Structures are given as structure tokens and as C-alpha cells.
Amino acid sequence: MFGRKSTTVIRALDQVDFEIQDGELFGLLGPNGAGKTTTVKILCTLLEPTSGHAFVKGYDVIKDGGHVRKIVNMVAGGERMLYYRLTGRENLKYFADLYDVPKKEVTTRVNNLLELMGLSDRADDEVEKYSKGMRQRLQVCRGLINDPEVLFLDEPTLGLDVNIAKDLRNFIREKVVREQGKTVLLTTHYMYEAEEMCDRVGFLSKGKLVAVGKPEELKRELPSGFSIELLVTRATEETIGSLRQLEPVKKVIVTDYEGEAEGEKIDRLIVNVNSDKAVPQVLSHMANKHCRVVSFNLRGPTLEDLFMFYTGEK
């Protein structure tokens, strides 16, 4: 009843070692529990690593934590981080004070940020009356209130409407990074988001950094450059096994797919091949095995393929 449970040590990060350049938009990708948020929180001084060092703009996050806090900020998706009983404007003014933003700049900066995020009309309403999208936009305002040199975005579009998420991504990429030259570390498990935004990416899997580089460079490292996406019916284990044995085929991944064709369940296969010339061979193999190919799509490698390759996860 009162006994302490035995403590299991979970290694949230394991020998993670990477650098981000000034003005870069770096994406840290990985499934839930990979260690993305842990990494971000260490860098913005909310967590202390058990061992190792982390530096932001040359400042040690532990020894020079005070200085780091002046030059960074973080926006997290799906979290509160706002005072619900204060208005949007009051929240921003308060954080401006906490960051010691020059007094004569506060009002202008607050108004500009609210205008930028389309919140001017509701600036004087309490945050508890905001919709989720509005709160997230206000969070971005809060994240920029101190004009940080480094901005950490921890799944910033989580739970947002498609169009709002798209606008936010554009804003970050064009305004924050390209125009203002800020350095941004973005964590996400939406591959298309990273593909759209990031200069370089790193893949985290179970606390380990398994790959770092530009998306195009990483894609070239894939054992195979192309993927054939097949939607088929009547694909048995034996069929898929024999498909894997074909010479141009490097990897076959079976993923979930919801749908039927003429009453038969559709399976989705991602077939990594070494050349686009492998398509006829793959299709005829499936036909020989009495599978019906509902559709196929040949594409170059995506970050999703990279992700699955490096992490072995869907």
C-alpha cells in the first residue's frame, strides 16, 4: 500500500549528438516517445541532461542557463502554457515583462504579433474563451515576444485545422527563418511537414539519433531510390515473401489500408526497388500470384520512407 514501486530507468536520450547552423530550420523527427520533446526541453533549459553537454549559440544550457533563456523561446503544441484568465494581450505583455523586452517596444511588438496571427479582434478576450486554433496562434505570439535568436517548436501544429496548420508552416518558414534569419528546431511526427519546411532533418528512434542530414541526401542513402505503392487484393504471406525475393526489390513494407475492392480487402504495399525499370517485373509477379492490382504509384523516396527505413516503424 505504501511501498515505493521499483524504479525502472528509461533512457530517454542515448548518445545524441548533432549541430544546427545559424539560420537553419532543422527538423527532429521520430515517433512518440523517441525523445524529441526531451531534446527540446534540454535545449531550452527545462530539463537537465544526466550526462553530456548542450550548447545554444555557444552558451552551455546548464552553466549559462540564464543567458540561454534570454535568447530562446519555445512553442509547444497541445499544451497550455498560457494564463487562461488573462486576455491574449495581457498574456503577451506579461511575458514581455518576464523577458525584459524594452518597455517602449512592448506595445508595438504585442500589437504586431497579434496582427500577424490574426488575433487583433480577440486580443482583449480571456484566453479561456479562445478556440484551440486561437490559443495555438497566441502561443506562437508568446514564442516570438522576446524576438528569440533560437526558436523551438515542439509539434506546433498538433490538433490544428489543415488550413491554419498550413498558414503556420508558411509563416515559420518564410517569415521567421527566411526573412528574420532565426534558427528553428522543429519537432514533428508529420513527415510531410518536415519535408515541406526543413533544411535538414534528424531521425530519433528510442532515444538514439539514427540519421542526420538534408532530406535529399538522406534519400539517396536509401538502399533503393524508388518506391512503388501498390494497392492489391488477395495478397498472401507467400505472395509477399516471394515478392521480397525478386532481384530488384530491396524491401517490402505492408501498411494499414482501409478499403475494399469488389468485396475483397485491399492491402497497401510499399515496395522499395532499385530502379524505376522494376515496375513491370513487380506488376507481373503480382499477376502471376493471382493478386489483383487495384492501383499502383511509382514515386521517389519520401521522408516517410526514410523514417520507416531508419526506425523500422510505421
Name the site residues for other proteins (rule: CB under 8 A).
1-2, 12, 38, 41, 44-48, 66-67, 69-70, 72-74, 76, 79-86, 90, 93-95, 97-100, 126, 128, 142, 146
> Minimum distance between the CB of residue 152 and other proteins, rounded to whole angstroms?
9
> Minimum distance between the CB of residue 123 and other proteins, rounded to whole angstroms?
15
DSSP 8-state class, residue 177: I
Whichever of 97 and 276 has its CB closer to other proteins, that residue is 97
Whichever of 45 and 311 has its CB closer to other proteins, that residue is 45
> Minimum distance between the CB of residue 102 and other proteins, rounded to whole angstroms?
11
Whichever of 87 and 227 has its CB closer to other proteins, that residue is 87
DSSP 8-state class, residue 207: T
> Minimum distance between the CB of residue 94 and other proteins, rounded to whole angstroms?
5
d(CA 102, CA 76): 25
Whichever of 144 and 240 has its CB closer to other proteins, that residue is 144
Of the chain, the end-to-end C-alpha distance in Å amounts to 40
> Minimum distance between the CB of residue 215 and other proteins, rounded to whole angstroms?
30
CA separation, residue 2 to residues 6, 7, 8, 140, 261 (Å): 12, 15, 18, 43, 57
CA separation, residue 16 to residues 19, 52, 97, 285 (Å): 10, 9, 35, 43
Supply angle C-alpha 218, 222, 228, rounded to 5. 120
Length reported for the chain: 314
Whichever of 128 and 264 has its CB closer to other proteins, that residue is 128
Nearest to 193 by CA among 220, 225, 167: 167
Q: Are 240 and 251 in contact (CB under 8 A)?
A: no
